[in-house]
């Protein structure tokens, strides 16, 4: 099969696997132990934390290691809300966020009476920073807008959104699961207080993530226990996976520096051109320029995306549509962008990775258009 679903998950890079192996075998110590086994494990965790910090442009102490991007989102949103409970009770977010963000916000609304303002996106999937500015109230504790969307790849003007929030002394969180490793994610350049990382989106294993927390930011812990991660995330560290996250972060930094993302962009554009040549009326979903270099979301006119992929079994990709009670419903992201149901149901998301080749791209275009 031709794997074009890298926004769903990535394979573990060989360099990441090799870094992890010793900690799956003989280097099995608990980082909290005081003997040599523990010291080796602690050094590995510290090194990985520094590798993640280098990718984000922050100090290692600002990186809290988590079990997933979803946990990091929950720590950011609930942690900020609980730290100001009784002081501020308002959140600002968008309609195209990951379910972990929506779920955390709705939990706070349901259980603690928080109010949520959902700012709209335009037809390209962009949030207007002025809408965020207008949505902020004296009681706003946090703005949470994703950096790049997983379905259409649109990259948000996070620096401008963060500036609008700073004007009102409001924290800013971004779920950067899709952007870390694909585009620059320097936390100072973006002006962020909180940023989520998901390992399995950047060639590390599933079940590992991280949260950048700007020094001085007040958060309450969500998982309580032994005081790990400076008291913000209890639980004995998953050393092999943390090592894998660190190795993946270092690899991502090398790829960004070498311009490897430009090669992926060229392949993505090659795929788009091949599909457009063969499919009259093919429509691009998402911003034409402000988009992840690996992501192509297109609608096939008069077609159903799910059926199209079923008829091209050699291509592993996704649609974003959801099946409920035997009925396919259009993607909530595309719906929020104002795209009508027929076009949304005809959408296919093709997300490339560093392992894809030009030959695979040409074969995928042929398969998706019935020209195998």
Pair 206, 129 in one domain: yes
Predicted local distance difference test score (pLDDT) of residue 324: 44
Q: Which two tokens stand for residue 76?
A: 């950011």
Which positions ≥6 away from 200 have C-beta within 8 Å? 9, 10, 206, 207, 208
C-alpha to C-alpha distance for 283 and 300, rounded to whole angstroms: 7
Q: Which two tokens stand for residue 89?
A: 């009770």
Pair 31, 142 in one domain: yes
Pair 111, 174 in one domain: yes
Predicted local distance difference test score (pLDDT) of residue 159: 98
C-alpha to C-alpha distance for 301 and 23, rounded to whole angstroms: 50
3-class DSSP assignment, residue 278: helix
Pair 174, 264 in one domain: no
Predicted local distance difference test score (pLDDT) of residue 94: 98
Domain closes at, from 215, 238, 256: 256
Pair 312, 189 in one domain: no
Q: Which two tokens stand for residue 16?
A: 């990441």
Give me the CATH number covering residue 303: 3.90.1150.10
Pair 215, 203 in one domain: yes
Predicted local distance difference test score (pLDDT) of residue 316: 97
Pair 251, 263 in one domain: no
Predicted local distance difference test score (pLDDT) of residue 323: 46
Q: List the one residue out of 70, 95, 91, 71 whose CA is nearest residue 80.
A: 91
Q: List the one residue out of 217, 239, 218 whose CA is nearest residue 228.
A: 239
Strand segments (E) across the chain: 2-3, 63-66, 90-93, 115-118, 140-144, 171-175, 194-198, 209-213, 283-284, 295-299, 315-316, 322-324, 327-329, 347-351
Summarised one tens digit per residue, pLDDT across range 147-179 is 999 999 999 999 999 999 999 999 999 999 999
Task: Enter the DSSP assignment of 13.
Answer: P
Find the farthest-apart pair of alpha carbons in the chain and give their distance in angstroms, rounded: 67
- Structurally, the chain folds into a number of domains equal to 2
C-alpha to C-alpha distance for 131 and 76, rounded to whole angstroms: 22
Pair 344, 250 in one domain: no
Domain closes at, from 212, 231, 256: 256
C-alpha to C-alpha distance for 292 and 167, rounded to whole angstroms: 28
Pair 248, 280 in one domain: no
Tell the residue number behind the tokens 């974003």, with chain if given: 320
Summarised one tens digit per residue, pLDDT across range 219-276 is 999 999 888 888 899 899 999 999 999 999 999 999 999 999 999 999 999 999 999 9
Q: Which two tokens stand for residue 11?
A: 């394979």
Pair 140, 284 in one domain: no
Burial annotation 239-259 (CB, 10 A radius, 16+ → b, else e): bbbbbbbbbbbbbbbebbeee
Give me the CATH number covering residue 199: 3.40.640.10
Pair 190, 232 in one domain: yes
How many other C-beta atoms can be found within 10 angstroms of the C-beta atom of residue 163?
Answer: 15
Rounded to two decimals, the pTM is 0.95
The answer to whether the Cα torsion of 247, 253, 259, 261 is positive or negative is positive
Domain closes at, from 231, 256, 281: 256
Q: Give every residue of the chain whose pLDDT is below 70, as ranges.
A: 321-327, 371-372
Which residue segment(s) compose the domain that 210 sits in? Answer: 14-256
Pair 207, 267 in one domain: no
Active site residue 105: no
Element (H, E) at 16: helix 14-24
């Amino acid at each position: 099969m031709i794997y074009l679903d890298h926004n769903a998950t990535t394979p573990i890079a060989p360099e990441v696997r090799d870094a992890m192996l010793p900690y799956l075998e003989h280097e099995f110590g608990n980082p909290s132990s005081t003997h040599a086994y523990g010291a080796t494990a602690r050094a590995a965790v510290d090194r990985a934390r520094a590798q993640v910090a280098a990718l984000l442009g922050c100090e290692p102490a600002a990186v809290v290691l988590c079990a997933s991007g979803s946990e990091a989102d929950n720590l950011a949103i609930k942690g900020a809300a609980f730290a100001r409970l009784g002081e501020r009770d308002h959140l600002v977010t968008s309609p195209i966020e990951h379910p972990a963000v929506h779920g955390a916000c709705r939990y706070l609304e349901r259980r603690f009476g928080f109010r949520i303002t959902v700012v709209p996106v335009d037809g390209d999937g962009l949030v207007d920073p002025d809408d965020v500015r207008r949505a902020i109230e004296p009681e706003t504790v946090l703005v949470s807008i994703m950096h790049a969307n997983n379905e259409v790849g649109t990259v948000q003007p996070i620096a401008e959104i963060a500036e609008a929030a700073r004007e009102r002394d409001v924290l800013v969180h971004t779920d950067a699961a899709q952007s870390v490793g694909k585009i620059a994610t320097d936390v100072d350049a973006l002006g962020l207080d909180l940023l989520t990382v998901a390992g399995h989106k950047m060639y590390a294993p599933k079940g590992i993530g991280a949260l950048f927390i700007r020094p001085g930011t007040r958060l309450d812990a969500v998982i309580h226990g032994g005081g790990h991660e400076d008291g913000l995330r209890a639980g004995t560290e998953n050393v092999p996976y943390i090592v894998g996250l660190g190795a993946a972060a270092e690899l991502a930094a090398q790829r960004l520096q070498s311009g490897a993302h430009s090669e992926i962009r060229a392949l993505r554009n090659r795929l788009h051109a091949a599909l457009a040549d063969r499919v009259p009326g093919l429509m691009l979903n998402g911003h034409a320029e402000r988009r992840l270099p690996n992501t192509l979301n297109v609608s096939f006119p008069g077609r159903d995306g799910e059926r199209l992929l079923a008829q091209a079994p050699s291509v592993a990709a996704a649609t974003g549509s959801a099946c409920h009670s035997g009925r396919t419903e259009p993607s909530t992201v595309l719906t929020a962008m104002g795209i009508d149901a027929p076009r949304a149901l005809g959408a296919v998301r093709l997300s490339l990775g560093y392992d894809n080749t030009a030959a695979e791209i040409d074969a995928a275009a042929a398969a998706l258009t019935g020209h195998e």
